[in-house]
Amino acid sequence: MGAETWSESAGRVSAGQAPAGRVQGQGWLPGTAERYQALSEQIPAVLYSEVHAPGGSVIYHSPQNQGLLGYTAEEAMQPGFWKTLVHPEDRDWVLAEDERCERTGEPWHVEYRVLTNDGRVVWLRDHAVLVRGQQGEPDYWQGYYIDITEQKQAEAALRQALERERQALERERQAARQLRALDELKNTFLDAVSHELRTPLATVIGIALTLQRAGSSLTQQDTADLIDRLVANASKLDRLLVDLLDLDRLSKGILAPQRTRTDLGALVDRIAQEWRQRSGRQLEVMAEPVVAWVDPAKVERVVENLLANADRHTTQDTPVWVKLARRGQEVLLAVEDAGRGVPPELQAVLFEPFRQGPGAPAHAPGVGIGLSLVARFAELHGGRAWVQDRPGGGASFQVLFPDAADPAETGG
């Protein structure tokens, strides 16, 4: 866009001239042209005139352009020169807006970047209006542009500051959410552990006091029953403490598998028999004769925890299965039930510490570390644990153990 001046007979004057104003039909006021030219060449803006046509030639350009962009007025008036200055990233939309204003005659009002003669990037605010002839026909564009680089830099700095503040607030909110989650996790853990500790501990204390105070008056059968309950609850306390200590050791990376050649079929069958007797529930074992180089104590804990999980989250009459099979150089262990299953949104997080799945009884919430230990023990062997829907309904908890090579067979 550009600017152009006019003669007394309403024709264009040469570049550098300026209109001498009229006052109520009088002639040009003496000195007006000189004052107009002095003003146009001293204000902090570049004035221009341009022919009304797409890509119209510039017919006037004030000399401030040289100080702003490094080009003389003569250079700025070369056909198509303005388009070459527009920043490549802005060029398409700026030229499209130029074409639209030429077509509609609407005022030109844009902010865009240009490249100066010495390669700097300068932001311009460019205004122009269409001047029309006496009959209302489009004649030429009269406009100006100013340097708004400092304003744009200040706006960019403000946006960056606001973005940094937003990110800082988001980090604070995230930290607050994490703290709340940790606090909830701590409360859940303390509630569960306190329950799991208090119940067997209260039973142990109660049995011990009974034996102390009425031991001589009890029948041999009653005494034997009390001692069996005492051992069972003491074992439960020991199991909880062992789980917590193992979880701590695993988190610190100081627990290593003690591998040995193990008959996993016999191991699974033994644990299943013990679980049947303890729970009074029916359990079907479908175990192939599998021998693998694993840590038998850790695998035993895996089977026990999976069965304890099934017992906790299903009813007494819900069918439960334990399956064991070799898959090439790996062993697949699965504990399945025909219960309600695990919702998809919980399947990915159920093996995290202190997570409780649906259906946990309120009177025995559990600590929520059993499945976490299952996953950690599997990872300790180089395997993994997951849960998926069981065909026919229910849940299938599966653990994959790589069968490590026997050092005696490899010369290790």
CA distance 118 to 115: 8
Q: Which two tokens stand for residue 402?
A: 């790589």
**Entry pTM:** 0.49
Instruction: Label the pairing between strands 121-132 and 138-147.
Output: antiparallel
Q: Are 257 and 381 in contact (CB under 8 A)?
A: yes
Helices (H), 215-313: 220-252, 264-279, 296-313
CA distance 407 to 258: 12
- Which pLDDT score is estimated for 8? 32
Torsion region of 284: left, alpha or beta (phi above 0 gives left; psi -120 to 50 gives alpha): beta
Task: Give me the CATH code for the 154-252 domain, please.
Answer: 1.10.287.130
Q: Is 210 exposed, middle or buried (0-12, 13-18, 19+ CB in 10 A)?
A: middle
3-class secondary-structure state, position 331:
strand
The HSE-up count of residue 110 (CA atoms within 13 Å, CB side) is 18
Contacts of residue 257, defined as CB under 8 A and 6 or more positions apart, other chains included, come to 294, 295, 298, 380, 381
- Which pLDDT score is estimated for 263? 94
Strand order in the sheet with 121-132: 58-61, 46-51, 138-147, 121-132, 108-115
Nearest CA among 198, 305, 289, 166 for reference residue 246: 305
Q: Which amino acid is at 115?
A: L
CA distance 216 to 223: 9
Q: Is 76 exposed, middle or buried (0-12, 13-18, 19+ CB in 10 A)?
A: buried
Nearest CA among 345, 339, 351 for reference residue 305: 351
- Which pLDDT score is estimated for 247? 73
Give CA separation, 262 vs 235, 285, 290, 294, 335, in Å. 25, 18, 8, 7, 19
CATH topology of domain 32-147: Beta-Lactamase (3.30.450)
Q: Which two tokens stand for residue 312?
A: 């906790």
CATH architecture of 260-410: 2-Layer Sandwich (3.30)
| Distance, CA of 39 to chain centre | 58
Give CA separation, 104 vs 53, 92, 131, 205, in Å. 11, 18, 13, 94
Per-residue pLDDT of the chain (412 residues; tens, 9 = 90+): 533 333 333 333 333 344 433 333 344 456 666 776 777 777 888 888 888 776 567 788 888 888 889 988 788 888 888 888 999 999 999 999 999 998 999 999 999 999 999 999 999 999 999 999 888 889 889 999 999 999 999 999 999 999 999 999 999 999 998 888 777 766 766 666 666 677 778 888 888 888 888 877 888 898 888 888 888 888 778 877 777 777 777 777 777 888 999 999 999 999 999 898 888 898 999 988 899 999 998 999 899 989 988 988 899 999 999 999 998 899 999 999 999 998 888 887 888 765 555 544 443 444 467 888 899 899 989 999 999 999 999 999 999 999 866 555 444 4
Nearest CA among 359, 361, 363, 366 for reference residue 338: 359
Give CA separation, 17 vs 37, 52, 61, 62, in Å. 7, 20, 11, 10
Nearest CA among 83, 84, 111 for reference residue 99: 83
Which DSSP helix (H) or strand (E) runs through 354? none
Q: Are 68 and 146 in contact (CB under 8 A)?
A: no
Nearest CA among 189, 1, 15 for reference residue 101: 1
- Angle in degrees, CA 226, 227, 231, rounded to 5: 120
Paired residues of 108 in beta bridges: 128
CA distance 30 to 32: 6
Q: Do domains 154-252 and 260-410 have the same CATH topology?
A: no
Domain ranges of the chain: 32-147, 154-252, 260-410
Instruction: Report DSSP state, residue 335.
Output: E
- Which pLDDT score is estimated for 156? 92
Cα torsion for 7, 10, 12, 13, to the nearest 10°? 0
- Which pLDDT score is estimated for 27? 47
Q: Which two tokens stand for residue 118?
A: 């010495």
CA distance 94 to 87: 9
Q: Which two tokens stand for residue 299?
A: 């695998």
Q: Which two tokens stand for residue 123?
A: 């932001």
